[in-house]
Every structure is written in structure tokens, then in C-alpha cells.
Amino acid sequence: MERKKISVAIPASVVSDVPHLREKTQKIGIIGRAAAIFGVEEIIIYRDQPNVDQRCDMKLISTLLNYMETPQYLRKKLFKIKPELRYAGILPPLRTPHHPVGGRARDLRVGDYREGVVFSRRSDGVLVDIGVEKPALIPGVQIPLGRRVTVKIVSLDKQVLANLVNRQEIPDYWGYSVTVWNNSFGKLVSEGKFDLKVATSKHGVPFERCKDQILVRWMKVKTILIAFGSPTRGLYEIAKLEGLKLDEIVDFVVNMIPDQKTETVRTEEAILASLAVFKAFLGF
């Protein structure tokens, strides 16, 4: 089956229900971990309060998610000390294929993929820190210092040699990207160019009743958006703030947790539950 690109959309106010940075960090950690567990390739942060400046929350969420996604051996090189990262130590490790445990050159194999940072330029190419004691040389290219790159190991002689690769070429799941969509949910679904748009809501159709229709569409598409509301407003309300009707701007509005026994389901809980159900039924 062809690999599909699954994007998850979360609102900027996803952290608005917890006051302290530590709890906000913990919440984002759950979201990032859920995305990695189920192979989400993109997390999109959208503005859900038209009359509120949400840039600080968007910056916090994107910083934490990007920090989580970055292999541990590159974090000090790519992230300066920031107030948003004060409690980054409580973020759970992803342990995805691009976060290798081995940190020695002897652990490398020809054909391995690694994330790296360019730290030196030479006449014959650039040297890249790939998390082992020996740098890798990417021959024949000139790349700005400090840039993060994805490479494939091609030789392990005296000099470790590597080639640049596109993440899409890698057969394994290679983490998620983070998109700060500095616009509304309505604009996202109309301009995001997704083949299939699924909104989650407790007022939607129970998944059991629409799963077959979703499966038919799912099998034919390449890019899928699964959207979630905020702790205080569901997607129906968020769309209404823009003068839109949710049912008219997405393909499906689905209740992923029918007959819920709690008054509310937190966004991070909804993400875990929804992705688990989609995975079990659709097998992505």
C-alpha cells in the first residue's frame, strides 16, 4: 500500500486549559508522542480565536514539538536557551528510527540514514555531525553551516561518506514536521490542498456508522487531514466563529469516542483515541 501523508491539525489554544509552563509542556509531549506512535507526518497549529493574538502559544507549541522531533544529539546545536524549553526535560523521548540509541561509529552500517548538522566546509564538500565520534563527509556540495540535513551512509572507510537524501525516500517513518498555520481553520481546510479532510467532534457521526465511507475515500487519496478542536471550543464552534458550517467545509465530521463517560475529552486524549481507531480500522 502506498504511504499516505497524514497531517493532524491542532488549535493554538490547545494549552489554554493549563496555566503553568510545566503542564503545557507535558500536554505537548503527549501530542508529539501520539503523532510519532501512529506515524503522523505533519502537525499543523492553526489559529482558533480570530480576535486574540495567539502568536505566543503557537511559538511555544511549535518550539516544543520541534525540540521533541530533533534527535537528542543535535538539540544543543540547533536550539539556544529559550524560556519555552525550561521544562523540556519532562518531554518523553520519541524513540523513532531517526532517534538512534547507538552513538558510536562502530554502530553505523552502510545504508543507514541519519540526521545531522553541517559544522564545517571543505573544498571537497561539507562535514556533518551525525551523532558519532567521527563526522560524515558529504562530497561535492556546499551547504550553509548550522543547517540540519538528512543523509544516507555510503561508505565506512577511513572517512565516513554520506549522501544527502530527501526524507520522502526513506522507507521508515522519519518523524513529523511542524507547520505554524498563521491563519484560521477555515482557511486551512480550503487552502491546504488535502485530498481528505476529517474533523473530529462529539457532535459528529459515530465512527462505526461512517467508517466504510471513510475507508472508500481513504484508499484513493494521498494526503489526509485529521482536525481537532480546543479545550473550550469544538470544531463546530470554531468554524462558526468564521461564519462557516463545519459539515460544508470538511468531508466527514466524526465522533471518535461515542457515548463518552466524561463531560469533556481533552485534545491530547482525543488525538490518541482517534489515531488508535483509525490505525486499527484503516491500517495506515
Would you state the pLDDT for residue 50? Answer: 87
pLDDT digits (tens, 9 = 90+) for 66-112: 999 999 999 999 999 999 999 999 999 999 999 998 788 888 999 99
Q: What percent of the chain has pLDDT over 70?
A: 99
Instruction: Say whether pLDDT at 284 is over 80.
Output: no
What integer pLDDT is reported at residue 105 of this predicted model? 86
Q: Are residues 229 and 185 in the same domain?
A: yes
Mean pLDDT of 199-218: 96
Q: Band of the pLDDT at 131, cuts 50, 70, 90?
A: very high
Domain count, the chain: 2
- Residue 43 clears pLDDT 90, i.e. is over it: yes
Q: What is the pTM of this model?
A: 0.94
Residues 84 and 216 in one domain: yes
CATH number of the domain to which 120 belongs: 2.40.50.140
Residue % of the chain over a pLDDT of 90: 87
Task: Out of 121, 141, 166, pick the residue that ends a domain.
Answer: 166
Residue 282 pLDDT exceeds 90: no
Domain limits for position 133: 105-166
Q: Please, are residues 143 and 118 in contact by the beta-carbon 8 Å criterion?
A: yes
Position 1 pLDDT exceeds 70: no
